Amino acid sequence: MDSFNNEELKKHLKVLKELGFEEIILDKKFISKDEILKERKKLLEKINEEIQICEKCDLHKSRTNAVLGEGNIETRLMFVGEAPGEEEDKQGRPFVGRAGKLLTKLIERAGYKREEFYIANICKCRPPGNRTPTLDEMEKCFPYLKEQIEIINPKVLCLLGAVAGQAFLNRKVKITKERGTVIKWNDRILLLTYHPAYVLRNPKEEETLFKDIKRAIEIAYKGL
């Protein structure tokens, strides 16, 4: 099994501490990468169990599946949308409908696979009729996403759409004016861009979304 170097170990111990671990006993010369990843997967599975029975807001009344998210839990880049749609609610997976297919296409066009990153939403349950989540719904659900972020520990969060931006920034976001903006947030970097669903309605903006996705990847792996 691979072992972590000192910097990697410090990073992962910091994540565990932020998640509430008060004491970590090291009875070996090193903690293996497999052991750390196994623990992180368990933590994500625990969140998934919680959201499947969550009744903090009324969205639970009409859900088929709550959608945690999926992807590489070692990634430096996480894509965050607003909420599951009809297809996501059926499958229990994020971004698998038309908007998700566009996101996947643009990631692949940039030379990567969607499995190399992590994809999630602000809200874990589908709002009826795919309406925009309310402030109360976002506030009730956002702590789940924050836990995911702490566990996965990405460097960059690519926020897809105004709703995702509003949840992180606690203010209204005019995405047509603010897309492409890079913001520091809790030792991480936010990049605001269009939601793929918006681009499906406005095809001329596909190239803009593509450029923002490429930029998010570059910042995550090469820096600003």
Identity at 110, one-letter amino acid code:
A
Q: Residue 192 — φ and ψ, nearest 5°?
A: -90, 135
pLDDT at 223: 84
Distances (CA, A) of 7 to 14, 24, 79: 11, 17, 25
3-state secondary structure the chain: CCECCHHHHHHHHHHHHHCCCCCCCCCCCCCEHHHHHHHHHHHHHHHHHHHHCCCCCHHHHCCCCCCCCEECCCCCEEEEECCCCHHHHHHCCCCCCHHHHHHHHHHHHCCCCHHHCEEEECCCCCCHHHCCCCHHHHHHHHHHHHHHHHHHCCCEEEEECHHHHHHHHCCCCCHHHHCCCEEEECCEEEEEECCHHHHHHCHHHHHHHHHHHHHHHHHHHHCC
Per-residue pLDDT of the chain (224 residues; tens, 9 = 90+): 344 454 555 566 666 666 666 555 555 456 788 899 999 999 999 999 999 999 999 999 999 999 999 999 999 999 999 999 999 999 999 999 999 999 999 999 999 999 999 999 999 999 999 999 999 999 999 999 999 999 999 999 999 999 999 999 999 999 999 999 999 999 999 999 999 999 999 999 999 999 999 999 999 999 87
pLDDT at 19: 67
pLDDT at 9: 58
pLDDT at 55: 98
pTM over 0.75: yes
* CATH number for position 183: 3.40.470.10
Cβ atoms 120, 157 nearer than 8 A: no
Which domain covers residue 67, as residue numbers? Answer: 6-222
Structurally, how many domains does the chain consist of?
1
Chain-centroid distance, C-alpha 181: 18
Q: Where does residue 46 fall: left (phi above 0), alpha (psi -120 to 50 degrees), or beta otherwise?
A: alpha
- The reply to whether 1 falls in a domain is no
- The reply to whether 148 falls in a domain is yes
Question: How many CA atoms lie less than 13 Å away from 98 in the CB half-sphere?
Answer: 6
